[in-house]
Amino acid sequence: MSTRSPRTAYYLNRATRGLALVARSVRLPASVGTWVPIASGMEPPWKVSEMLAATFPGLDAKSLSFIALLSDDEVDEFEKELDKAGLLMRDLPETG
């Protein structure tokens, strides 16, 4: 089951060390970790990075990867990169 961004916002995923600007109604990537909304999509990425650095000094926000995901097609391409890096969430087999 995929989750869609209810509004354009920046999302942080600490497990993938990624920061993503995701447009409204675009599917969030199926990666390991959790995509957590952290800021509205109105700010430039450098401001969001500075805010993260001030809020979470141990995060090393300046070294986070950044991507803008403005369509589901862009999410599909990003998931291919995540798969190559071993960071794509795999569906678990049904048990029962």
- For 25-74, what is each residue's pLDDT tens digit? 999 999 999 999 999 999 999 999 999 999 999 999 989 999 999 999 99
- Report field, pTM of the whole predicted structure over 0.95: no
Which residue, 65, 91, 92, is CA-closest to 78? 65
Q: Where are the domains of the chain?
A: 9-84
> Could you tell me which residues come within 8 angstroms of residue 15 by beta carbon, excluding any fewer than 6 positions away?
31, 32, 33, 34, 87
3-state class (DSSP) for residue 15: coil
Query: Whose structure tokens read 């990537």?
Result: 29
pLDDT bracket for residue 1 (50, 70, 90): low
pLDDT for 9 equals: 98
